[in-house]
A and B are shown apart, each in its own frame.
Chain A
Amino acid sequence: MSECIELRYEVSSEDFTRAGEASSNVKKKLKQMGVSPAAITKVAIAMYEGEINMVIHADGGHIEVTISEEEIEIKLCDRGPGIQNVEKAMQAGYSTAPDNIRALGFGAGMGLPNMKKYTDEMTIDTEIGVGTTVTMKVKL
């Protein structure tokens, strides 16, 4: 079987309280599909961190999730400012988040390292002034 399930979510940056709804929906779907709890946790956390980043650092965007027999791919696409220095951004503790974001509980500089840690593959495609695409894969 090589059947794939494809899901697409629009992520708005207007309402911070709703950030995470896409990840929540994916988590629910994976559970219904009987995916292993360990893989669900990895996908849920990595996607949630990515979704939050789209909301707080870019102007929202969209997320494509592809589920196959072998793996789950999560592609986060935004048209935000891009990442100046990816190597730096990947370091634990590095954050450009302003105080108002820190007051919301984010901006520890742990998101990208977490995404890397919980996934089997992660690539960041970014261009200043154009946007960022983060692609992550979790093997099943």
Chain B
Amino acid sequence: MTVEDVRATLGARVICGEEYLNREVYSACGSDMMSDVLAFVKDRSVLLTGLCNPQVIRTAEMMDIVCVIFVRGKKPDDMIIELAKEKEIPILCTGHRMFSACGMLYARGLNGGASYNE
């Protein structure tokens, strides 16, 4: 599926990176702890998180995450949005809770993906 399919599934709002919605997504990862996210590199993954600070975008940058999704209605501030634009990472926002958002994507066939070096 694409980032746009992810957006439609969650009924999410695009905060920035409109031009990257056709990117392919192969896997997903949901966590509020960034080192947990960094533990397993997945191929073309989206990151769902309730954490809302610039380190989310930094983490996504280091892992080549294709899209960041803020759950529970979290709204990124200008600093986060500017950083995401600079790093060419699209941001989506959804009011769904983490569990529901992950479940909706899982039900559409997106899974955790193969982990790195296991």
The residues of A with any CB-CB pair to B shorter than 8 Å are 16-17, 19-20, 23-24, 27, 37, 41, 44-45, 48-49, 52, 102, 104-111, 113-114, 117-118
Contact = CB atoms under 8 A, between A and B. Distances in A.
B36 interface: yes
10 contacts: A17-B55, A20-B62, A24-B61, A27-B61, A48-B62, A104-B53, A104-B55, A105-B32, A105-B33, A108-B33
Interface residues of B, number: 23
Contacts of B38: 45, 48-49, 110-111, 114
Contacts of A48: 38, 58-59, 62
A105 B58 contact: no
Contacts of A102: 33
B33 A23 contact: no
B36 A19 contact: no
B55 A114 contact: no
A17 B39 contact: no
Nearest to B64: A41
A110 B39 contact: yes
Contact of B33 (A16, A37, A41, A110): A110
| Most chain A Cβ neighbours within 10 Å, of B41, B49, B55 | B55
Contacts of B54: 17
Contacts of B117: 117-118
Given A24-B58, A114-B38, A45 B63 contact: yes
A106 B35 contact: yes
A108 B53 CA distance: 17
Given A105-B53, A117-B117, A45 B36 contact: no
A41 B63 contact: yes
The 9 closest A-B pairs by CB, nearest first: A110-B35, A20-B58, A108-B33, A44-B62, A105-B51, A105-B34, A108-B35, A17-B54, A48-B62
Interface string B27-70: 00000111110110100000001010111101101111000000
